[in-house]
Each structure stands twice: as C-alpha cells, then as structure tokens.
A and B are shown apart, each in its own frame.
Chain A
Amino acid sequence: MKHATGFVMALLILAEMSCARLPYTTRVIADDPRVAVMLQHDVEPVNYSHPLQVSAAGIGAVLKGVSLREQVSLPLRWYAEERPPKAVFREDEIATLAPRVAEALAVAGTGERVYFELRAPGMNPRYDQDVTAGWMAVREAYLYITVEYFHAQQPRTRSSPYDYNYPTPRSAPGSYVLYFEPGRFWVLDPKTNRRAVEFRAFLQSAPGGQAP
C-alpha cells in the first residue's frame, strides 16, 4: 500500500506540473500538402508588435535575403569544411509562403509567433516529406526569423509504416547559423539580445521604397 500511495501522489504532482513549456498552436492559417502556417503561443515573455500589416511583397523581400549555414557541434566544428551560406528559400517557396505569413502577422496577438512549414515529397515519397520550417515574429522594428528544419527528411506518419507501431516523432530541430543580406539590416535587438532583421529600414531602402 505504501508503494501505491506514493505512486498516486506522484501522479497528482506530475499532473499539476503539466503546464505549457513549449509553444503550442492557437490558430491554423493554412495547412495543405505544400505549406502550413499557424500561430503559436510563445512561452517566452516577448511582447510582440502584432497584429501587424505587412505586404506579402515585403515579407517575400525579407525571405529572399535569408541564408543559413548548418552549425556543426564541437569538436567536429573544428574539422568541418567551411561552406558558403545557402539561401533558405527558393522563389517558388517564397511565392507560396509570403502571402500566408503576411496574413498570419495581420491577425497574430502580442504573445503569438508565426510558425511556417514548407513541405515537399521526401526521398520515400509515400511516407517521408522534405521539410523546411521555422517561425517569424515582429517586435517594433525587428523581425525575428528562426529556421528549425532545412530540407530535413521527416516522417509523414506517427509510427513507422514498416516497423509496425514504432513511433516516429520528428527529430529535434537542427542548429543553424542565419545570415541576412544586406548585412547592415541584420542587427541585434538591444531589448531581447537576439538577431533580427531591421525590416522597416530594409523595406524602405529597397528600390522604390516599399512601405511595410
């Protein structure tokens, strides 16, 4: 009985502790075989400047300037070949993604971020997909962008279609070093100490000077 009592107590304590510690979806803006965009409640207390009107063209211009390099963990980093950064988004991906991100930013709340996911057929097209995913958010003049997966092969099903009932959760997000061109707009937000695109200044600097 001592064991049973302890077990029940542990159960209750754990149930109490079950509060959100990772971002969770609050609203789905788009979800189809090509792209998913959704609002996520951010668990970090950042007061974003949403809702925000930004044109799809403006978002597209920002996305076009983002590139990345995979961050190799130590000690392999010492021996890793230095590779030039790769552009994160192709033209067709930007055309698909930008309008939906703009739509999402227009309805997001101050505690929400915009999660995006670009999907393509995977190497085993029936059961895998090629995923590029991350999230964006805006605080004042700063547009944060994070890439969690870059053309990562991820399973489409919850469990393996071959090793029956063996769960196939997504692997942990990858670690990437992001860049933005032109580099003068890739700045440190002094309040959050995070890298961000100074997007208003960037858009105004574009030929013709787009308003956000």
Chain B
Amino acid sequence: MKGVVAGLVLMLVLTMLPSVSAAVESGRLVEKDGKYVFVESQDPAIKLLMERALKQGVITKEEYERTVRESEERAYLLQPSFKAWYDRGFNFSMNDNAFFLKIRARFQGRMTQRFRNEAWRNPGDAKNFPELLGVFGDYRANRSEQEATTFSLRRLRLYFMGHLFNPDFKYFIQLRGETAENAQAPGALQLFDWNFTSTHVPWLNVQLGQYKVFFNRAQINSTASMQFAERAMVMDAFTANGLDRRDVGLTVMNDEELYPVNYFLGVFGGNGPNFNRLGTFVSEGPTEGTAASPAQRNINANTRLDVDRVMLAGRLNWNIMGRPGYGEGDLVYSETPQMVIGGGYAYNPAINTSTSNGGIGIDLANLNIRRQLATFGNGRQLGNGIIDYSTWAVDAVAKYRGWSLQGEYYFKNVNRHDKGLRLGHATGWYAQTGYYVIPRRLEVAARYAYWDPDTNSADDLIKEFNVAASYYFQSTYDHKIVLEFSNTAMGTGGFAEGRSAPLPAGFGTTPLDAVGGTLVENRIRIQYEIFF
C-alpha cells in the first residue's frame, strides 16, 4: 500500500510542475483556404504609415514602440481564445493548448448467424459461461435450439479525451451503451474508462483511474483494431484479475513511442471495473430453522475478509525490430520487419467465488464478482470458495509488408484456499495471421485458439477456429466491415460446483451435465464499424 500512496504523491507533484509557455508573438499561423499563413496582428497599412511617420520624425521611437505594442495587445485580445475542428473526432482546444478536448464515438453493428449441434439443446453450457439467475444468481445452463439469427449493436462507445493544464496531463473517459449478444436485459449507459495520465517524465508515466490493465496483449489492444469481429474466448479468460480486462488502480510505465523496452507496473483493487473490495463478502448460511420458523436466508451477516489485499500486475515489452504496436494486422504496410515480444504477470488474491455453503440456490457471494467470472468464461471457478489468481502471459508479434503473425500463451494458477475442492489450473494459447490482399484496404486473416479451463478435468477443451476478411474504407481502423466465419468446439466434461454430480444436499440428483457431449457451433458474422 505504501507504493500506492507514493505513486499518488508522485503524480500530484508531476502535475504541478510548471509547463514551458511560448512567448507571445506579434502574429500567428492561421489556416486560410487550406494553407497556413503567418498573419501579422497589426494592419499592414497602419504599420506602413507608422513606419513612415517614424522615419519622417512625426512621431518619436518611444511613441512608435508603444503604439505597436498596444496594437498587438489589442489584436491578441480580440482574437478568439479557442479553436475547433474535426479530425478523427470533434476537437476543441484553447489557443495556448492548455486545454484540449476530443470527442469521438464508435459504432459496431453486427449480424450473426449461428448453427449449433444437438448438444446445445442438452446439456448446453453450464460450466464455462453459465447463466446466473435472479438476485441470488442460481446456476442455469445456457441451452438453445440449433439455428439463431441475431442483429446486435455490439459496441456503442462515446469518448471524451484530451489534456488539462498542458499536453502532459491527459484524461480519457469512455462510456458504453451496448448490449452483450446473450444479455437478458437491454444495456444502459455505463462508465467504462475514466483515467488520468501524466507523461511529464518519459521514463515514468503514471496512469491513475479505471482502465484496461497492461497485462495481456489481446486485452490491451482495442476492439476497434482487431483482425476479427470478436476476441477469441481464450483471450478473455486470462485477464489480469481473472474477472474483467478493466480495473481501478495505478500504473507506472515508460513512453512506448520513445523506448524500445517498455515496462508496466500496476497496483489495482482487483475486483473489476466500477467496484471495489469492500463490496465483496463472505455470507453466512441460512439461519438454522425450527419447526415453527423454517430456514431463511435473509437474517444473517455478510463479513468482509481479505479487504486489505490488492492486485499486482506487471508487463515487459521488447520491440526487437521497429514498433509493431498493439493493433492487429499490418495495416500500415510496414516497410521494414517489425517484431516484438512481451509478457505479463498478475497476482490477484482472495477472490470469493462462493460462500462456504457452496451450493446452488443459497450461494450468496457477491453477484457482481460471480457474473464477471461467468461472462468471461471462467464459470468453472464459481463455487470454489476463495481463490488466489496468479496468471502468466507471453506474447509475440511479427509484421512485414502487410503480413502479420501474432500469438500468445497463458497460464493461470488457480490457488484455492479450500484445498478439498477439485478445481485445477487453466491454460491456453492462440495464434493468428493475416495478410493484406490489397495493401491497407483488404485483409484476410485466420486464427486458432486453444483453451483448457480446468487442467484437472478431461473432455473440457475449448477449440476455436476463425477466418475473416476485413475491408478498411479509409486505410485506418476507424471505418471497416468484417466478414467472419468461426467454428468452436467446447467440451462439457469435468466437474463444476453445483452443476455436476454430486450435487449439494437438497438439490436433486440430476446434474446439469448428465448428458455429455461437445458443444459445436458454426457462426457467420458480418460487422460494420465506424469510429468518428
């Protein structure tokens, strides 16, 4: 915790450093009919008359200089103190560049056609992406018939970004208004990111607030700069905190534009976005009942344990050749070979996946934490008591003349405080490659992803194969259309608490995975995106 305090103090000090201010000139560079011209602040005719008057001795040198100075001051005061323009968003800036605001919006509209096998009818997916029902989050298997056609607004984002005081103190705000593809209720506007970054010291940039943890390459990358319509499932499963790609905290790092080797060291709450550790608890079981008063779950206590713990995350990145960056594919058509390797480690202790009473229906662990686990595909970890996550990721990227290759390997130590439970660790990897058939315009890409969500279980592997063709209308990531075909095979084997036999007492004898099988889905997505 001392590190957190020291970081905050350092950031405050950095923001108070005086900025270099430019001297006021007697004119300014203005854009006129597409050209930049230097315009004197004094009318040229008056200037000529003044100079002649000085030369002829009609006015003294002091009078001339005073009048010029006053004229400049007047002209400076009369000019607008701000400018506004459009360039990759609406931009507003004060003339001295002490304040800058860029407003952007992003739209991703998608049509998905799914073809699923019979196993989706029964057993369906009760383990990796289970649905949690009602206020108590009872487990439900996700089952469906074989075909589905859906239209969705996959991503709707609103951005406010810029700098305050000077260009080295930046802010970034992102709101989202989308609805997830399988959501059971319409989405609402939600805060996604809100952070401040100090770049006063190039080797010690400081970011504070809510943002994506610098850990896993696939998550650091924006969903606007992907080669496919969606991330692979394995990418989402191995986030730093094990819950979500975002968290609240502080990161120190160096400037990636300047240094070939980049470090990121962060400390976070570890409980995902818009949330903190005091919201989690260990809930007492139902009050013991009597014949006159049956067991009830609402007269008991929630106890906060391990609330002094924080998540630590670090990442190291080495640009061996060039600067490939995080955007997928070689959109810029790199003239020289680009290569980077990187890796990250994150330790997130004491995540409560269920109460000690562990079973379905009476599981009163915080529903937000449980839903995050289920949303990112870590549903097998639900019901396993308190868990310490220790996650590793290594990645590599190569790009050259429109061709790209990217891969990442993950391993997650799932350390259960209750050693009696059966859950194992998790591992996975993916590799993807792409090629611009028409440089900077049309790319074809393929990806294979492999994920073992529980190393102690058999028949639980998740394999995903995607091919995609993307057309970039303006040779940037901002405007494109993606056509993607995917095949996923998800094993339903292995044990999941409260869903596999043996079930907790009083919850029947037929588990959700009584009928085994592999869930197969073939999927076509057409996605249009515009970022303006």
**Chain A positions near chain B (C-beta within 8 angstroms):** 3-4, 7, 10-11, 14-15, 17-22, 24-25, 86, 90, 120-121, 123-128, 130, 150-151, 153, 157-172
Contacts and interface: CB of A to CB of B under 8 A. Distances in A.
Given A11-B433, A159-B326, A165-B326, A151 B474 contact: no
Interface in B105-125: none
Given A123-B91, A127-B167, A151-B34, A167 B331 contact: yes
B411 to A, nearest CB: 20
Contact of A171 (B333, B431, B446, B475): B475
A18 B225 contact: no
Given A4-B448, A121-B29, A167 B325 contact: yes
The 8 closest A-B pairs by CB, nearest first: A167-B327, A162-B161, A172-B475, A18-B403, A126-B167, A14-B435, A165-B326, A24-B335
Contacts of B477: 166-167, 169
Contact of A3 (B85, B104, B220, B463): B463
A120 B38 CA distance: 12
B97 interface: yes
Nearest to B531: A166
B88 interface: yes
A162 B435 contact: no
B225 A166 contact: yes
A25 B159 contact: no
Nearest to B437: A17
Contacts of B448: 3-4, 7
A187 to B, nearest CB: 26
B323 interface: yes
B331 A168 contact: no
Contact of A18 (B37, B257, B402): B402
B34 A14 contact: no
Interface of B: 29, 31, 33-37, 83, 85, 87-88, 91, 93, 97, 100, 102, 104, 159, 161-163, 167, 170-172, 197, 199, 207, 211, 220-222, 224-225, 256-257, 323, 325-327, 331-333, 335, 400-403, 405, 431, 433-435, 439-440, 446, 448, 463, 465, 474-477, 487
A166 B222 contact: yes
A86 B487 CA distance: 54
Contacts of B431: 7
B248 to A, nearest CB: 16
A interface, by DSSP: helix, strand, loop or mixed? Answer: loop
Contacts of A11: 405, 433, 446
9 contacts: A3-B465, A14-B433, A22-B401, A153-B85, A159-B256, A162-B170, A167-B325, A167-B332, A172-B476
Contact of A151 (B35, B83, B257): B35
B102 A123 contact: no
Among A128, A160, A164, the one with the most B-chain Cβ atoms within 10 Å of its Cβ is A164
Contacts of B163: 162
Nearest to A127: B167
Given A123-B91, A150-B34, A171-B475, A165 B221 contact: yes
Contacts of B401: 18-22, 24
Contacts of A158: 257, 323, 325
B439 A22 contact: yes
A162 B33 contact: no
B433 A120 contact: no
Contact of A86 (B34, B172, B199): B34
A150 B33 CA distance: 11
A18 B400 contact: yes
A10 B435 CA distance: 10
Contact of A15 (B221, B403, B487): B403
Given A124-B91, A151-B36, A165-B220, A22 B333 contact: yes
Given A165-B325, A169-B475, A86 B33 contact: yes
Given A126-B167, A161-B199, 12 more contacts: A15-B403, A19-B401, A24-B401, A86-B33, A124-B167, A153-B85, A162-B162, A163-B222, A166-B327, A169-B440, A170-B332, A171-B474
B222 A165 contact: yes
Given A11-B405, A24-B335, A158-B257, A166 B97 contact: no
A190 B437 CA distance: 31
A120 B335 CA distance: 24
Given A126-B97, A151-B36, A17 B403 contact: yes
A128 B97 CA distance: 12
Contacts of A162: 102, 161-163, 170-172
Nearest to A122: B87
Contacts of A120: 29, 36
Nearest to B167: A126
A90 B35 contact: yes
Given A4-B448, A158-B323, A165-B220, A21 B257 contact: no
Nearest to B222: A166
Nearest to B322: A158
Contacts of B222: 163, 165-166
Given A90-B35, A163-B161, A166-B222, A123 B83 contact: yes
Nearest to A12: B433
A89 to B, nearest CB: 10
Contacts of B402: 18, 21
Contacts of B463: 3
